[in-house]
Structure 1
Amino acid sequence: MPRDRLVLLVACLAQFMVVLDVSIVNVALPAMREALGFSATGLQWVVSAYTLAFAGFLLLGGRAADLFGRRRMFLVGLALFGAASLVGGLADSPGLVLAARAAQGLGGAVLSPATLTILTTTFAEGAARARALGAWAAIGGVGGAVGGIAGGVLVHFLSWRWIFLVNVPVVVLTAVLARIAVSETRADDRPRLDTGGALLVTGGLVAFVHGVVSSESAGWSSALTWGSFVVAAVLLAGFVFLETRIASPLVPLGVFRIRSVSVANGTMALISSAMFAMWYFVSIHMQGVLGFDALTAGLAFLPQSATIVLGSQFSSRMLSRVGARPLLSGGAFLTAAGFAWFALLTPTSTWVGGVLGPGIAVGLGMGVALTPLAGAATSGVDRTQAGLASGLLNTSRQVGGAIGLAVLSTLATARADALTAGGAIAAAASTAGTTRAFAVAAVVVAAAGCVSLLLPRSPRPTRTSTPDPVGEPVDGAPAR
């Protein structure tokens, strides 16, 4: 196999695994609750612990890749992710599972930005990079959808523990291939790591999500809820202040002056706020209302997975012809239409009549949008800051997903609880909560489509398109 293709395989394997672990737990949540005694709030934190740690440390992971070397940090991230997966699979308490999920998120934060950086420093800008980004985007999108299928198969035939343990052999295989195929590169400027910034932004995000989740039981006017929001505001304000004062900030705020970067990250955050919640709500609806077992619920995601691949491949082929903006906005508006369709669910809707069609629309729209998002987010950014740009895009994905899940879950639960208290049957109350979440998600993704229209018509990098060596060769390997 040519070396470039092997590099692409390594990057896609790692990205698939990292994104898979956001959604693979959804189908397994009922089994985990029964085995370990999770509360409803605790189940949400199984998802949120991963996404928040992932989001909070992604930028630090991207800068670490620039500083210490992309291949080195790729391997460090793999090792941490694999070790955390092993602990999660052997855990015997809810607390240990949540700790393992947070550690997985930290490993993913180191690993994920390195995957996109390795691609952008391996493939020259143009058709080759567009194809590579298309494959990377498709794998990332499929990871979210296949998570439901993989989780259902593993829970049905083995146990919920294998949603963690399955990562271990994949980590070993990916590490071996990376040692063979990926050359070491790193930035020449050697920026310092902004650990304080990473801690501030992570703490702020955790406090904000805690406030949203607390509002479900304590109420929006409670001291616990508002105290969490105040802490979040202070920490996030401290993060912004720190970034403007230190020499090597985690997020050089000047990068947002590049319009394609700002628009891509804003669009990604809005789309992800709906997409992450979708896997959660559809999984719960299929098992709790339609009566599917874990395996059937997982297999029910298969058509959606296929449309994500089709959308991504179409988008990667069309990107050089029509540009990023029409693909991104078209994909976003199609996704919004799919969510609006989901909002028409009733307790008597079948899978074919109520879930299949909107799931295909959402999957196709998301697939079309992913490739131009990846390209726009790194367009105009110097290669020495490729880790920063890729980390920023992934941060937007995870921050949007964590906040969206917390907000939409709170809205859905409040609606369902109110109807249950009024005497509604469980299926009707649950469906009403789910459709409220989907209706809000449709509005949010439509807003993302509007934001995407601000993308420059044909974004061009500010640097020369002639591929130059990146950084300096390490361990005798030529820089790519």
Structure 2
Amino acid sequence: MATPQYLAPVPDWQEHEKPSMPGSPSMPWHPPWRRVAYALVAILVGITGALGNGLVSANLPVLQGQLGLTPSEGAWISAAYVMVNVTANLLVFKCRQQFGMRWFAEIGLGVYAVLTLLHLFVGSFATTLIVRAASGLAGAACSTLCLLYMLQSMPRTHTGKMMVIGVGIGQLAAPLAWVVSPALLDQGGGTWHNLYLFEAGLALCSFAAVVVLKLPPGVQIRVFEPLDFLTFALMAPAVGMVCAVLVQGYLHWWFDTRWLGWLLIAALLLIVAAVFVEHHRANPLIQTRWFANGATLRFVIGGVILRFLTAEQSVGAVGFLRAQGMGPDQFQPLFAVILAGMVIGILACSISFTPKTLVPQILLSIVLFAIAGLMDHHRTSLDRPQDFYVSQFLLSIGAGMFMGPLMLIGIGQALKNGPAYMVTFSVMFSITQTMGGLVGSAVLNTYQLVREHEFSASLVATMDRTDPMVATRLAQQSAALGAVIGDPVLRSAQGAAQLAAVARRESNVRAYNDVFMFSAVTAVAFLLWLLALLGRTALTRRLAERRAAPLPSTLPSSLPSSTAQPPPARP
């Protein structure tokens, strides 16, 4: 490797103060009050980076109604955040190394806050997309900034525990958004302005906190090359196109919309071009050869599936309750329980953290995912949010536990090959987590729609008007409307429509039960696959140790000397 070109003089740090790599801050001694301040800023910045998107997801029906948007346009609002967030991570690590993390964070947070304030005065669909894109850029900076600030809150001996907490803080934003949303919408007429005003205030507070309490200086080296920007220009739109397809696919339906296929073709061509460029570079931005490693491929698959399993909460539980007519007010206690579960999961993972507990923690989280799915697969239309407390609490503990260990395992694999592989790992980790969530949402929503249509067709086929039970139910429906509808024909038609609505509701219930079971089966299958891999690895290691063990050079002295001689010949 070439000698790094330093952009500033390197301070004369003591050994324990040196940054772990270029782009990371140094680790000097801090008084206790300053360590507490670093921890508080980490929490503020980490929540700010993801809370805006959480508020939009929690209140998307409200935003669609007040802005006059279709479901497809509403989906673009969420997609804008994800598309920018995942592509910005392509350059975040090198920005840290060459310009410093504070520079990138101040620009991201400043632009985010200004655009959010401007959106309050304009309030169009176009400005909504721009603000969400700026939120994605700020989120990419805030997630890294949260981790770096949290590392300053404790001595270096606790780095692993602080990394677990720093990675997990961003996960708290989604349930926190559901908890605070009803209070925000109850103020000032319940418009979307309250959500964006709160979001802008958080961005300004985080901007001020980052400026006032700066990270310790680190080492800055020249790392950017012209081909880095070519790779970014190829990969960013490709990843954005894939995100768009995953978000819009089940709304427009996968095989009925031609432009979805064209987006996938264009994305594939751009990815192939980017891989070709990176594969033949001397100092690539993305280490393409690393992906040919079996351990890397297994890490990617595992990361996607873990994030896929967490989608059961947003698609399964939330979708089920929304289909029963539940709104943000009814969701608030449930997500308070979920928030508590995530906090407990993150803290438990941090407290029990050792290099030997990383894999058991991930396995335990998968077990919790499976238990939650099995507990929810028998729901009925009479179930309400309080019936989901136990299952979603267990699922949220698992969601809070797996992220830190997964990241630490990936960092360990990357550093075995050298610091240059950290850029590839950063991009890979971001994409697996983002794509895993999008794939989970797309697959589970698609599966739910397919099963709902099948159950609905089955129920409607059995609803024969000549059946005494169906005729009695129709008569009851019509009689209940007698006080408000005088026309018997119209009353009969309305009664039939209400019965059809009941059939649709029950079809949705059965479909969501299948979604819960599908998630549980996936978790069990994934757990068995991991156990098989671990068993194979342990067996391979044991056989290698046996082969490497030295063979005895002499016979044991306890054997009688006659055993070493051939037996006497018979006459």
Decide: shared fold, TM above 0.5: yes
In structure 2, C-alpha distance between the alignment counterparts of 1:239 and 1:388, rounded to whole Å: 13
Q: Secondary structure, in 3 states, of the residue corresponding to 1:320? A: coil
Q: What residue number does 1:242 align with?
A: 277
Q: Distance in 1 between matches of 2:121 and 2:438?
A: 25
User: CA 1:299/1:391 → structure 2, altered by over 3 Å: closer, same or farther?
Assistant: farther
Structure 2 residue 221 is matched with structure 1 residue 191: no
Question: Which 10-residue stretch deviates more, 22-31 or 204-213?
Answer: 204-213
**After the TM superposition, which of the residue ranges 155-164 and 297-306 deviates more from structure 2?**
155-164
Q: Percent identity over the alignment? A: 18
2: distance between equivalents of 1:352 and 1:278?
14
Query: Is 1:304 the equivalent of 2:335?
Result: no
For residues 378 and 391 of structure 1, do their structure 2 counterparts lie closer, same or farther at Cα, with a shift above 3 Å needed?
Answer: same
Q: Which of 433, 441, 444 is equivalent to 1:397?
A: 433
What is aligned with 1:462?
A: none
The answer for the alignment partner of 1:147 in structure 2 is: 177
- Of the candidates 313, 335, 352, which is equivalent to residue 386 of structure 2? 352
Please list, as runs of the form range in 1=range in 2, the aligned pairs for 1:14-53 lying within 5 A after superposition: 14-53=45-84
Which residue does 1:473 correspond to in 2? Answer: none
Q: Indicate the residue corresponding to 1:272 in structure 2.
A: 307
Helix, strand or coil: the match of 1:347?
Answer: coil
> Within the alignment, does 1:338 sit opposite 2:338 as a pair?
no
**1:176 and 2:208 aligned:** yes
Distance 1:280 1:94 in 2: 25
Q: What secondary structure does 1:379 align onto?
A: helix
Q: State whether structure 2 residue 135 is matched by structure 1 residue 104.
A: yes
Match of 1:164 in 2: 196
1:45-444 map, 5 Å: 45-117=76-148, 119=150, 126=157, 128-157=158-187, 158-179=190-211, 180-192=213-225, 194-212=228-246, 213-214=248-249, 216-217=251-252, 219-220=254-255, 223-253=258-288, 264-276=299-311, 278-289=313-324, 291-320=325-354, 322-353=356-387, 355-379=388-412, 381=415, 389-416=425-452, 422=460, 423=500, 425=502, 426-444=504-522
Q: Aligned equivalents of 2:317 and 2:301: distance in 1?
A: 25
Cα deviation digits, residues 131-187 of structure 1 (max 9, x gap): 312322342222222122122332233433333321222222222332323123344
- With over 3 angstroms needed to count, the CA separation of the structure-2 counterparts of 1:4 and 1:250, relative to structure 1, is farther
**Quick check: 2:86–2:434 contact (8 Å CA) kept in 1?**
yes
Corresponding letter in the other structure for 1:129: T
Counterpart CA distance in 1 for 2:98 and 2:112 is 20
Q: Distance in 1 between matches of 2:307 and 2:119?
A: 25
Q: CA deviation at 1:50?
A: 1.1
Opposite residue 69 of structure 2, the aligned amino acid is: F
Q: Is the 8 A contact 1:114 1:387 kept in 2?
A: no
Task: Write the letter of the residue equivalent to 2:327.
Answer: D
The 2-side partners of 1:383 and 1:399 are apart by 25
| CA distance in 2: counterparts of 1:196 and 1:435, whole angstroms | 46
Q: One-letter code of the match for 2:184?
A: L
| Unmatched segments (≥5 aa) in structure 1 | 458-480
Distance 1:60-1:407 versus aligned 2 partners, 3 A rule: farther
Equivalents in 2 of 1:12, 1:67: separation in Å?
Answer: 26
- Return the alpha-carbon distance in structure 1 between the equivalents of residues 162 and 294 of structure 2: 23
Single out whichever of 212-221 and 71-80 deviates more from structure 2: 212-221
How far does residue 451 in structure 1 lie from its aligned partner after superposition? 6.3
Judging changes above 3 Å, is the alpha-carbon distance between structure 1 residues 216 and 68 closer, same or farther for their aligned structure 2 residues? Answer: same
Q: Shift of the alpha carbon at 1:70?
A: 1.5
Residue 3 (structure 1) shift: 3.2
Cα offset, 1:54, TM superposition:
1.0
What is the alpha-carbon root mean square deviation over aligned residues?
A: 3.3
TM-score (norm 1): 0.82
The alpha-carbon distance between structure 1 residues 31 and 185, as it changes in their structure 2 partners (threshold 3 A), is same
Per the TM alignment, residue 263 of structure 1 is displaced from its structure 2 partner at its CA by: 5.2
Higher mean displacement: 88-97 or 52-61: 88-97
Q: Distance in 2 between matches of 1:208 and 1:216?
A: 15
Find the structure with the greater CA-based Rg. Answer: 2
CA contact (8 A) 1:307 1:364 kept: yes
Do 1:28 and 1:155's aligned partners in 2 also have CA atoms closer than 8 Å? Answer: no
Equivalents in 2 of 1:434, 1:407: separation in Å? 13
1:383 CA displacement: 6.0
Separation in 2, partners of 1:259, 1:349: 44
2:473 paired residue number? none
The 2-side partners of 1:383 and 1:98 are apart by: 36
Inter-partner Cα distance in structure 2 for 1:243 and 1:447 = 35
Using the TM superposition, give the Cα deviation of residue 284 of structure 1 relative to its aligned residue in structure 2, in angstroms.
4.1
Q: What whole-Å deviation, never above 9, does each CA across 1:113-135 have from its counterpart, x for those lacking one?
A: 34335556886664x11231232
User: More relative contact order in 1 or in 2 (CA 8 Å, sep 6+)?
Assistant: 1
Query: Equivalents in 1 of 2:221, 2:257: separation in Å?
Result: 50
Distance 1:259 1:125 in 2: 32
Cα offset for 1:315? 1.0
- Report which stretch shifted further, 169-178 or 411-420: 411-420
Offset of 1:221 from its aligned partner? 6.0
Contact 1:214/1:225 (8 A) holds in 2: yes
Cα shift readout 1:30-59 (whole Å, capped 9, x = no counterpart) = 211211122222222222221122112212
Instruction: Please report how far the alpha carbon of residue 227 of structure 1 lies from its aligned counterpart in structure 2 after TM superposition.
Output: 2.5
Provide the C-alpha distance between the structure 2 equivalents of 1:267 and 1:88, rounded to a whole number of angstroms.
Answer: 39
**Equivalent pairs, count:** 454
Q: Separation in 1 of the partners of 2:288 and 2:438?
A: 23
User: Match for 2:359: what amino acid?
Assistant: R
Greater mean deviation of Cα atoms: 327-336 or 21-30: 21-30
**CA displacement, residues 89-132 of structure 1 (integer Å, 9 cap, x when unaligned):** 55533333223212211222233234335556886664x11231
CA deviation after TM superposition for structure 1 residue 27, in Å: 2.4
Give the letter aligned to residue 360 of structure 1.
F
Cα displacement string for residues 168-211 of structure 1 (whole angstroms, at most 9, x for unaligned residues): 22222222332323123344352337233334333223333444
Are residues 222 and 26 of structure 1, via their aligned partners in 2, closer, same or farther at CA, if it must alter by over 3 Å?
closer
Q: Distance in 2 between matches of 1:439 and 1:45?
A: 29
Q: 1:371 to 1:249 in 2, by over 3 A?
A: same
Amino acid at match of 1:173: C
Q: How far apart are the structure 2 equivalents of 1:242 and 1:123?
A: 41
Distance 1:372 1:311 in 2: 12
